[in-house]
Structure 1
Amino acid sequence: MSIEIKAPSFPESVADGTIATWHKQPGEVCKRDDLIVDIETDKVVMEVVAPADGSLSEIIVAEGGTVLSNEVIARFTGAAEAAPVVNETQAADTDQMEVSGPAVRKLLHENNLDANQVTGTGKGGRLLKEDVLNYLKNPTPLTSAPILVVAASSPVVKETVAPSTGPQHRTSRRVPMTRLRSTIAKRLVSAQNEAAMLTTYNEVDMSPIMALRNQYKVQFEKAHNGTRLGFMSFFVKASAEALKRYPAVNASLDGNDMVYHGYQDVSVAVSTDRGLVVPVLRDVEAMTLADIEKGIVELATQAKEGKLTLEEMQGGTFTITNGGIFGSLFSTPILNPPQTAILGMHKIQDRPIAENGQVVIRPMMYLALSYDHRMIDGKEAVQFLVTIKELLQDPARILLEI
């Protein structure tokens, strides 16, 4: 039974996708719901799983290829007709000159070989299966020019290797930019080019928040089934309260229209191996500190595992990014269009400040609010940031909403 493997149905906002990784190769046996391939779109990575027990018989679109919604990307053979896995050595005997990316990679992996150890004899220095098999029979050190390995199911990677006789081993690699990384780059450049972006700064004394957290963190964790009390929930709650008071900061621009939102959906920036993503916490004005902490942990986990859905990444009205977790002391965040403002948190650092005529040491954090001056006046932006500062330095005001 032959089955067509198709790309998922993409939402209207997603035009196409890119084959990121084939987890199964032709002839490889797999079980129902085993992960076969990852498809990367502008916003999320979608997973395609095996429709039944059987084996992947043919890959139609290689890694790096662009696919449309519901396009056939591979063929699958059901268990009744599943062909046994072909021994790579036997396959090489019958067709040694065939350039097979998956076969080459499998041989290299099974024998713990690096591609640069083997001399390629194919056109343009390409690595063939017989090259790997011949090397296994008679290993010899590489003395020829650098190799260009072209695999049928992977993006082209050029690697330049310096002679091994020198004191240093200098290498460089050229790899295609991922679709997600490319989209992030375009959006950031667009935000800087199209918005009248301005940034205002302030600093907040974190002593009250830290004292409150230290006093209640154990009780909080017990009362909320292991959920830990962090700093982010205080910033999200303070932002929600400030957004109520300054609706322009919670608005967005749609052409010549200004859209004011009657709710607070806060996007929280999360760093992943694939790039920066901003999943959304919905209706934060109605959430407790515990709800916010749970929501952030869940979204961050999904982001790092590549399991965020498009719905979880769309529709935010305001963004918070925390460069402080990486040690950033001061930075200027870039807007997340079509939102009109973004709050940047930074590292908490002990600094001397003047208090009641005395110099004292306090744990201070710099805050940065970047905003679109087309929508938000400087007065509103400054007052918004001052409101967040005041709420954080007197946490009771967050609960009392004053």
Structure 2
Amino acid sequence: MRTEVVMPQMGESVAEGTLTQWLKQIGERVERDEPLFEITTDKVDAEIPSPTDGILVEIRVQPGQTVEINHVVAILDTDGKITAAPEAEEKPAPNGANGASAPQVAAPVSAPKVETSGNESIEELRRTKSTPLVRKIAAEHGIQDISSIAGSGLSGRVTKQDIMEYIEAGKHVGGTTAARPAGKPIQPHHTPVDIGGRDRIEPLSPQRLAIARHMIASRQTSAHAQTVHEVDFTNVWAAKKAMSAEFADRGVRLTFTAFLIKAAAEALAAFPMVNSSLDGDHVIYRGDINIGMAVDQGESLIVPVIRNVDEMSLLGVARAVTDLAERARTKRLKPDEVKGGTFTLTNPGIFGSEFGVPIINQPQTAIMATGAIKKRVVVDQKTDAIMVRPTSIWCMSFDHRVVDGATADRFMLRMREVIENWQV
């Protein structure tokens, strides 16, 4: 029996992924859930497990190729037999030392024929068959008619590479294609860079490039506004010190992140507008509280999601934080573990920064950055007493189309109350 392996969707707004490495070769056996290949997207750089036991008999996507989600990347034979793929053709062995032939990678299936109902033209099909990512790029650059772009994908589909080459060539500037919606800002042109003799030029990695586009798209989508609060961590500092040994006995490392995620969950339950998404002119109030936490990966980052945080104890949250962070850094996250986030927490404070101003993780409504927790001189507002307290500066970015400043500040105040009044 032949089983198709597809490119998984690693996040709700992810439309494609780049396959970076095969961990198995044709003819090798793979067990269910054993890592089969690595991918990179704007949300994740991860190993993808095999969906079943079997032998890898066909590879359809080579390292470095970017394909849409659910695109077939390989075929497994679950009967344990290596059989030639129907699409593959016998090729003569290349001239070599012993005349031995290298294993052949089967060619992808041929593109299906385009059939129309009589009311649809090829150009209309190209438009409808473009990916959400392509349509988003088109909207960002004021391209209203995708059918004017020559598509190189299946059935004339306009791919990301097609539209990026079109834009880089400046073909979107002028004419009806470049007509932009009212109020849409004109995209800045690329400024040429003078290259020095000692400069080194390297292309952006696929994940870094995808992150760049995702962040630019978020800035152009949401009306970003921010609010900043300083929070006293005296009680949480004491609670962490008192409970760390107990948690360690259970094999769990207690971090400040666990306290922050629990506090965010309580505030999100009280202010569901912050736990929402905007779809056109409708607000979607999320039924679950799923908090994403940004994890540093050296040259990139990833945002695994802790689900239903409001139903978890502090111990459960701490265990999830430790587990997800470790597997994120070792590329062992599963596709579902980077999907479904309703709010994001990022902690640049671990590197000593006072605070950061984060960009909203679409399609969410808000994201919060926490600064370094360190001792600062503060003044008691009631007694004017000068004290030294461990504090952290928080900055929340929110979508002002959905959340007003007053709601954002009430949300932050609720989080502050939870942290500042924490009881062991």
Is this a same-fold pair by TM over 0.5?
yes
Which residues in structure 2 correspond to 1:76-91 (within 5 Å)?
Answer: none
2:74 matches 1:47 = no
Q: Pick one of 237, 259, 277 that aligns with 1:234.
A: 259
- Matched residues in 2 for 1:281 and 1:60: separation? 33
1:331 shift after superposition: 1.3
Is contact 2:6–2:74 with CA below 8 Å preserved after alignment?
Answer: no
Aligned to 1:206: 233
Show the counterpart of 2:200: 172
CA distance 1:173–1:63, change in 2 (3 Å): farther
Output aligned runs, 1:2-401, within 5 Å. 7-8=5-6, 10=8, 15-23=15-23, 30-33=28-31, 37-41=37-41, 43-44=43-44, 45-47=46-48, 61-67=61-67, 69=70, 71=72, 73=74, 93=97, 172-178=200-206, 180-222=207-249, 225-273=250-298, 275-355=300-380, 356-396=383-423
- What amino acid maps onto 1:177 in structure 2? S
Residue 229 of structure 1: how far off its partner (Å) = 2.2
Q: 1:72-117, CA deviations, whole angstroms, 9 ceiling, x for partnerless residues? A: 65899x8899xxxxxxxx986579xxxxxxxxxxxxxxxxxxxxxx
C-alpha separation in 2, matches of 1:245 and 1:15: 33
Cα distance, 1:245–1:268 mapped onto 2, change above 3 Å = same
Give, as a single letter, the amino acid of the residue that structure 2 aligns with 1:185.
A
Distance 1:369 1:30, change over 3 A: same
Q: Report 1 or 2 for greater relative contact order, CA contacts < 8 Å, sequence distance ≥ 6.
A: 2
Question: Please, which runs of 5 or more residues in structure 1 have no aligned partner?
Answer: 82-89, 96-168
1:195 to partner: Cα distance: 1.0
Cα distance in 2 between the residues matched to 1:38 and 1:220: 34
Aligned CA-pair RMSD: 3.8
Give the Å deviation of 1:344. Answer: 1.0
Decide which moves more: 289-298 or 244-253. 244-253
Residues 20-79 of structure 1: per-residue CA shift (max 9 Å, x gap) = 0134567xx8454475532445544453669657xx898664321234645365899x88
Q: Name the SS for the 2:200 alignment partner.
A: strand
Deviations 1:301-343 (A, max 9, x none): 2222223233222222211111111222221011111111111
Q: CA deviation at 1:367?
A: 0.7
CA separation in 1, counterparts of 2:296 and 2:42? 16
Identity of aligned residues (%): 34
C-alpha distance in structure 2 between counterparts of 1:343 and 1:36, whole Å: 35
Cα offsets for 1:226-250 (capped at 9, x unmatched)? 2122212221121122122222111
Supply the distance in 2 between the matched residues of 1:237 and 1:228 (Cα, whole angstroms): 15
The 1:273–1:79 alpha-carbon spacing in structure 2 relative to 1, beyond 3 Å, is: farther
TM-score by length of 2: 0.63
Using structure 1 for the length normalisation, give the TM-score.
0.66
Cα pair 2:42 2:214 within 8 Å, conserved: no
Residue 72 of structure 2 aligns with an amino acid whose one-letter code is E
Judging by fraction of residues, say which structure has more strand.
Answer: 1
* Aligned-pair CA distance for 1:253: 0.7
**Count of residues paired in the alignment:** 313
| Greater gyration radius | 1
